[in-house]
Amino acid sequence: MLAFRRLSWSPVELASRTAKSLSGVINFASGSPDPSLVPVREMVEIFAEVASEYGAQAFTYPGAGGLVELVRELRGYSERVLGITVGGEGELVVVSGAQHGIKLLSQLLIGPGDLVFTEDPSFWEAVDPMRFQGAVIRGVAVDRDGLDTWALEDRLRRGYRPRLVYVIPTCHNPCGYIMSPERRKHLLELAESYGFQIIEDDPYRPIAENPPQSLKNMDRSGSVIYVSSMSKVLAPGLRIGFVILSREIAEELSKLEQHDFSTATPIQLLVARALRRGLVDSLLPRLRRIYYEKIKILRESLEKHFPGSYTDIRCGFFTTLRIGTDSDRHLAKAIESGVIYVPAREFYIEEKPNDAARISISTVKPEEIEEGVIRLKKSLRPA
């Protein structure tokens, strides 16, 4: 019999599958951007232009590292929107979404037994590919100011030598925190002193209002590998992400990306033109306004019905709520009450609280948010 490694399903995937099969249930489980904000009409027009102008060339193989047209536009977008100046040629690599980029980086940079530190809790889909490569994953606590860099420094002083530190410093998933400028500076100092690389996963920055500088922009020693995506600002199904890193590693990442060859030519041309036209930039004010409106409603609702039990969501899509009972076992009852969430136990690295639930505002309508919180609260009452 053929031997193979057995994998686990993401808790997000399992909950999302369930949510898709339900009707009349308020969906706090999805991490996908709000589909009502996708500029469908504009993208249909752009796709027709691309097909007409490029003809069969739009449907050929894309080549390594991303099409020249898209790389050029992403470099401009990075400087204009993200505040990151890409250095020389070849330092931006196009990938099939941020998750794909992190998976490739895991394959490229991590081997069995390598130590990786991450925020605790952290994004399951990013951490699991590192585990698959044989990494030893250790968690460092987070609070409303992000990763506790002093706790990280304590471990470094005690002899721990990580290969990588993986962080989501802006609009943390699943807590919604923002790492403070002081801790960003401290983390970079630790990376330079102890010689580890930082993977900065930063897909929510474009929809955050005045976030601190990215780690990448503050980096002076080449310690930061920056990963972002067009999923939160254009559409997740396009599967366009990008990685900004040193030319030496970028070349190897481009070679590895060719193993699965998954960034489609017509989609790259579509996104390049959407950027060049200013479509993406024009969407950002509305995206920020709507997502912050949802966050405000969620925070007010949780404060009313679950005071002191949720993480202080400041941007992005997510908060982590402690519901006081096993969130996996309770999920069926919550669904019966008309609301669904993601059980969040597996997002944690060290101690795994069984009552943690990830709550998302991404796809739910603003007028449904408080009702969803009320339904969840009612579901927890004794029968």
CATH classification of the domain holding 113: 3.40.640.10
Examine the domain organization and report whether 251 and 291 are in the same domain.
no
* Per-residue pLDDT reduced to its tens digit, 201-215: 999 999 999 999 999
The pLDDT score that the predictor gives to residue 8 is 77
Do residues 311 and 244 both lie within one domain?
no
Mean local confidence (pLDDT), 313-334: 97
Q: Tell me the pLDDT tens digit for each residue of 11-30.
A: 877 777 777 777 789 999 99
CATH number, residue 19: 3.90.1150.10
Mean pLDDT of the chain: 94
Q: What is the pTM of this model?
A: 0.95
Residue span of the structural domain in which 328 resides: 11-31+281-379
Q: Which of 279, 307, 332 is the last residue of a domain?
A: 279
Total structural domains in the chain? 2
Q: How far is residue 121's CA from residue 81's CA, in Å, rounded to a whole number?
A: 28
pLDDT band of residue 194 (cuts 50, 70, 90) is: very high
Q: Examine the pLDDT at 121 and tell me if it is beyond 70.
A: yes
Q: Mark whether 257 and 354 lie in a shared domain.
A: no
The long-range contacts involving 207-211, CB below 8 angstroms and separated by at least 24 positions, are 207/171, 207/232, 207/233, 207/284, 207/287, 207/288, 207/291, 207/315, 207/316, 208/170, 208/171, 208/178, 208/288, 208/315, 208/316, 209/288, 209/292, 209/315, 211/170, 211/171, 211/178, 211/315
Last residue of a domain, one of 261, 279, 297: 279
Q: For the residues 60-88, what does the mean pLDDT come to? A: 93
Q: Is 1 contained in some domain?
A: no
- The string of DSSP codes covering 131-163 is HHTT-EEEEEEEETTEE-HHHHHHHHHTT---S
Final residue of a structural domain among 230, 247, 279? 279
Residue 268 lies in a domain: yes
For the chain, what percent of residues have pLDDT higher than 90? 89
pLDDT in tens, 144-184: 999 999 999 999 999 999 999 999 999 999 999 999 999 99
pLDDT tier for residue 2 given thresholds of 50, 70 and 90: low
pLDDT tens per residue, range 227-286: 999 999 999 999 999 999 999 999 999 999 988 878 899 999 999 999 999 999 999 999
Q: 235 and 210 in one domain? A: yes
